[in-house]
Amino acid sequence: MDHSRNTLGALRKSLVDGVAPAVDRSDPLASEQLPLVVDYLEFLGTRIYRIHERSRFELGEYLRMAEGLLARLPQPATATLAEHIDAGRTARESASTGTTELIEWAGALATAVSTVVQDESLPDDVRRALGRWVVESSRPLLAFQRSWYAPFGFEADRGRLRSIDELL
């Protein structure tokens, strides 16, 4: 049995019951940071068993973005991006791919997408069109991230957000 959620709860309780009373309230940094850490531990407890799903979803979104770029790129500029797409797709489709590997492939694809959009060897109009594609194709990823972090209260109207279950 995995005890990660219980451990996070115990850490949070330790901070609230043991550390918080000992923190000098006149220390503005400590007074600011401690509640942030406590809140994040609580948040992580609600998300810890969904991180693998999130990682697979995010990799899928970066794959979709990269595939869209590939379809819009002049042929000579496609080789490296195509290699990243193939490797990322293989990682995403394999049931045995671990969370860390999914995160690493999503990061590699995000970097590859960024590199393509910033490639100064491409004509300006092509780069602008690619940039617009990336912005438009980022909407589902942004919607997911807004829902994922909604418990922190950054959203004015959380009721307008789709649930994580809908997005995953």
- For 109-129, write each residue's pLDDT tens digit: 999 999 999 989 889 999 999
Its pTM stands at 0.86
Mean pLDDT of the region 59-88: 89
pLDDT of residue 141: 96
Q: What is the mean pLDDT of the chain?
A: 92
Q: pLDDT-derived band of residue 1, with 50, 70 and 90 as boundaries?
A: confident
> Which tokens sit at 144?
């997911």
pLDDT of residue 155: 86
Contact 72, 133 (CB under 8 A): yes
pLDDT of residue 77: 65
pLDDT of residue 75: 73
Show me where the domains of the chain are located.
51-147
Rounded-to-integer distance, Cα 65 and Cα 134, Å: 6
Q: pLDDT tens digit string along 4-45?
A: 989 999 999 999 999 999 999 999 998 999 999 999 999 999
Cα 97 to Cα 58, 78, 101, distances in angstroms: 14, 26, 6
Rounded-to-integer distance, Cα 81 and Cα 106, Å: 13
- Closest to 19 (Cα-Cα) out of 32, 8, 34, 5: 34
Residue 101 has a CB neighbour count (10 Å cut-off) of 15
Mean pLDDT of the region 57-70: 96
Rounded-to-integer distance, Cα 66 and Cα 64, Å: 6
